[in-house]
Every structure is written in C-alpha cells, then in structure tokens.
Structure 1
Amino acid sequence: MSNAPSDAEERRAIEPVICYPTETLPQPDMALYASFRDGLELVDTAIAPPREAAAIKVPSGHFLRIHSVEGPQVGDLNLFNAQNLAERFYSGKTRALHGTHITTGDRMWSTFPYLRPMATVTDDTLNWYGMDQYGGSVHDVIGTRCDPYTGNVLSDTQYHHCCHSNLTRALADAAGLSMNAAENLVHDVLNVFMCTGFTRDTGQYFMKASPVSPGDYLELFAEIDLLAVLSACPGGDCSSEHSSDAAACYPLKMEVLKPASTEGWQSPPINGYDRSHGR
C-alpha cells in the first residue's frame, strides 16, 4: 500500500462529473407508446425453459413482453437486428447513458457504427424497487452473463447450461448458424429481473434474490426489427449462486404484441456520424 499524499482527502473530495450528460439525448414519447397499447394483438409466443434459452422475432413497431410465469426467475437477454446480426445490443453504452440498471423510459442501444435505439422500455412492473440500501437495483446492464469459461477458471468445472452457452445454442438454431459463428455474436446482456449492484467497500459485483414474482413483466417496444434471445438463468432468482443445477429454476415467457396502429412513430435511422472523415 502506497503512503497517502498530504492532500489525499482534498483529492477525494473533488466532486464527480457525469461522463455523458443526457439533456440533449432524444427522449422517447412515452405517451405515444402508451397509446399503442389500445387494441394489442398477441402474434407470437416463446418459452425459455429452465436453464435453456429461446429466440423470437419482434418486428419493428411491436412490443416484446418478458413474463415471470411460475416462480422467481431472472433472464439474460440478447438483442440483434433481425436483418443484420452485426448490429446488436451494446450494454456498455446503454450503461454509460442510462446508468447501471434500466427501467421505464430508458433505451437499449446498438453497437457501433449503428448506435441507435434498438428498443425502449415502455413498462416495468418492478420499477417500484428503485435502489435499495445495499445499492442494488433491478434489470442490470453491469453483468456480462454467466459463462463456462469463467466457471472453468474459478472452479475447474465444465458446465454447459450457463447463459452464454444457452444463448449460443438458441441463436445458432434461430439464425441457422454454426455454434462457432453464433458464439462470436453472443454479447453482454440485459439481466432481466436480476437484482445486482456493487459493494461499497471493494466495488465487487453482487447479486441478491430478485424481487420478481409470477405476473411481473418487462415490456420493450421494438424500434427496429429484432431477434430477441432469452436465457432462463441457471441461478433461478440468483439469491445464492449461478452456473449450477442447485438453484430452483423456472421458465420465462416472451410475447410479441402488435398494436392496431403506430401512427406518429418512425424507426430510428442508423447513427449519422460520418466515419469516413475519421480515418
């Protein structure tokens, strides 16, 4: 441990500055999205079984609802442009713009060079939770996804039903890809229903029992044509562990709902930055 300088406390007392002020970020018209719920038609459903994943296509201008149906369960969500799998969810930029956890009114942004809203959170039955005394909150964009490689490093295990593996298999099946090609596209996730944060003393990523219960759902509005891939995490409600068969696990349901009209809404164009001038 290095010796603290004489002005250590003065340095610590410097006030932080928000990296990405969002006052000029285009805001979603939540009243418009709310109006689209009149006359919704259920057009497709998929079930992610316990410790497995499922994929579903969500056309632009449709809603995707992720439901807790049988018991407390968290899910790992990947989003892709259904027409171009290279454009996929960018959790790091979403975190930088909206914070460590997202809820109603926040957006899920896509990777460079596209960087545009892929989906907007239009309803969240767990938005009452807020931030708890431990710094925990729900629907995080912090965690990467449970994966077999980290498990092998930490405990010399060969576990094949962690979320990374589940997402890879489901994407390969849905997109007609080899396992190797699909694995290269699987990305950091939105941890749906997961309650997480960082410890105050060591800054370590923690999880705790999710407050989710059957009947809760997270609703997203598809801003572009989406391929959604969801894994029902092997940790169940993530109250104790993940990447094992020990936790009680339950399925998650995805519903695609079509509005009667989306008048007044337009799919966002890809980012307008001219990268040819930066080369």
Structure 2
Amino acid sequence: MANNGGWCGRGFKPRTFPKHSPLICYNKPASAQVDQKVYDDKRFAALSGELVETLVVPKRTARTWTMLAGDLCRVTVCEGSQVGDVNLWNLENTKEHFYSGKTRQLHSTHLKVYDRLWSNLPYLRPMATFVHDSLASYGIDEDGGSLHDVIGTRCDDYTYKLITGKDRIGSCHSSLTKAVVEERGMSEQDVHDVWNIFMCTGFTRDTQQYFCKPSPARKGDYIEFIADMNLLVALSACPQGDVSITVGEEVPADVCHPLKVEVFRQKL
C-alpha cells in the first residue's frame, strides 16, 4: 500500500549532525567598546559634582525621571532584596527607546560594567553605559545564572491571566504604564522591553527554559549608569519583589521593597 509520500517509520535511521565549535554571531563594533578610563573619569566627575535628584520608587510601583547626557544614575537596594525593571527613552524623541534584543546581541544576556544600553532601529545608538555594580563579583553561578539581564520582557497582567485565568492589575508593565501616562502624558504603547536590574536569571540546561533565582542583592547594593544622551527613565520596583516566587503564585508583601534613585551631575 502506498504511503502517498508520508513518513511511515520504515527504515528509520537516527540522524547524525556535524559537530561545530560555538561561533560568536556578532563581533562588537568599536562603538560598543568604551574607553574604560574615559568612563571612570566621567563617573568620578559626576559623583564629585552635584546630587540633582533623589527619589524613592515605592514597592510595587514605578516612577520616572530625566537625565542629561553625562549624568550618572545610581539605583540602590535601600531596604531589602528587590529587583527592578528599567525603561529608557530619548528625552527629545520618545520614539527612540531602549532595545533590549539588540543590546543582548551586541553584549550578552546579562550586562556587565562597561556594557552599553542601545536604542531601537533605525537609530541604534548607545543610550547609556553601565559603569558600576556592587554585585559584579557574583559572575555566572553553577546553574548559569547571572545578574542584570536583557532577556525577560517584564512581568505583565496579560501573561498572568494566560497562566492563571485570573484578571489582575499589578505588574511591572502596568506600573510602568501608569507612571508614563500620569507623569509624562505617554501611553501603554510607549512601554517596551526592559533591563532587569538585580535579577538573577538564566536558562535551564535540560529544557532551555528561562529561570530565576532569589536576587542576591541586599540593602546597600547598587548599580550606576551614565547617560550617553538626554534621557527619560522609568523604573518599576517589581511586584515579584526579590523574585523568589514563580510568576502566577501569590507574592507576599514582605518580599517586596522600594528602590532608591539618585542622579549626579558634573559641576560646570
């Protein structure tokens, strides 16, 4: 009986594949490789200058602020372990915003000091440069986990409903949306994929699924980045808190904390 071209399993032989060494897909352009001394000097100049803004992002909310090119932003874990989701826009043209996917391609899944945060197409410019991390020594752990990823998109209530079947308003997406709508007159469509600061994530070796671990950040830990253009910045103090609980499960209030933001500017 003919099988009409379909596979019936007869004569099946396991397929073999040639072995190749990993090849880095994207060679870093010169603009992705900063002069470390130049940025160390910029950091010193900003921190030796003026503290021009301080704000606290309360737990389970988001806030916005602005930066001028050359300003340094420090985000501090000010009470207890907490992760945050960062959005960036060009202050003069919010159509230009942070592009996590291209940042991931040009640098890595988890940003390290002297990596840059890139804008979307057709602009593709460095928006900010990561200059200090009190958790830099964490590195890559035994499960492949690391910090400050540009993998996860941001928690949102649409995916929560997909997982649980329940309606909810209480996510980084909804917090960021509320902040940009109320504080900047923008819209939900302006919120985009984020930089997940203080978050410990990776991919499982067996199923290659995105995983998270409780953040190792503790009170006093902080990161710093320098603006490479005039920026509008938004930060959500994630409702998942320290990310010790799987998305979709109830998150106790006591694992959520605020984040402190300080902006420093060089004296002219």
**TM-score, with normalisation over the residues of structure 1?**
0.86
The one-character-per-residue Cα deviations of 1:218-243 (angstroms, maximum 9, x if unpaired) are 10100001111000011111012346
Give 1:239's aligned residue.
244
- Whether 1:259 and 2:228 are equivalent positions in the alignment is no
The percent of aligned pairs where both chains have the same amino acid is: 48
- Does the CA-based 8 Å contact 1:46-1:55 persist in structure 2? no
Give 1:18's aligned residue.
24
Give how far 1:89 is off. Answer: 0.3
- The alignment's C-alpha RMSD in Å is 1.6
- Whether 1:76 and 2:85 are equivalent positions in the alignment is yes
- Whether 1:132 and 2:141 are equivalent positions in the alignment is yes
Residues 1-279 of structure 1: matches in 2 within 5 Å? 5-8=14-17, 11=18, 13-22=19-28, 24-36=30-42, 37-38=44-45, 39-177=48-186, 182-242=187-247, 244-247=250-253, 248-260=255-267
Residue 225 of structure 2: SS of its match in structure 1? Answer: strand
- Does the CA-based 8 Å contact 2:245-2:251 persist in structure 1? no
Which 4+ runs in 1 deviate beyond 6 A?
Answer: none
**Equivalent residue letter for 1:168:** T
Measure, in 1, the Cα distance between the counterparts of 2:191 and 2:141: 31
- Does the CA-based 8 Å contact 1:234-1:242 persist in structure 2? no
Structure 2 unaligned blocks of 5 or more: 1-8
**Equivalent residue letter for 1:164:** H
Measure, in 1, the Cα distance between the counterparts of 2:257 and 2:193: 22
Given the superposition, is the C-alpha separation of residues 26 and 203 from structure 1 closer, same or farther in structure 2, using an over 3 Å criterion? closer
Give how far 1:7 is off. Answer: 2.2
Measure, in 1, the Cα distance between the counterparts of 2:90 and 2:238: 23
Structure 1 unaligned blocks of 5 or more: 262-279
Structure with bigger gyration radius: 2
**Equivalent residue letter for 2:33:** Q
Measure, in 1, the Cα distance between the counterparts of 2:235 and 2:203: 24
- Does the CA-based 8 Å contact 1:105-1:122 persist in structure 2? yes
- Does the CA-based 8 Å contact 2:32-2:115 persist in structure 1? no
**TM-score, with normalisation over the residues of structure 2?**
0.90
Give how far 1:174 is off. Answer: 2.3
Query: How many residues were matched structurally?
Result: 253
Give how far 1:176 is off. Answer: 1.6
Residue 162 of structure 2: SS of its match in structure 1? Answer: helix
Give how far 1:26 is off. Answer: 4.5
Measure, in 2, the Cα distance between the counterparts of 1:111 and 1:150: 24
Give how far 1:246 is off. Answer: 2.1
Residue 184 of structure 1: SS of its match in structure 2? Answer: helix
Give how far 1:245 is off. Answer: 4.0
- Does the CA-based 8 Å contact 2:32-2:116 persist in structure 1? no
Query: Could you tell which deviates more after superposition, 37-46 or 131-140?
Result: 37-46
Residue 128 of structure 1: SS of its match in structure 2? Answer: helix
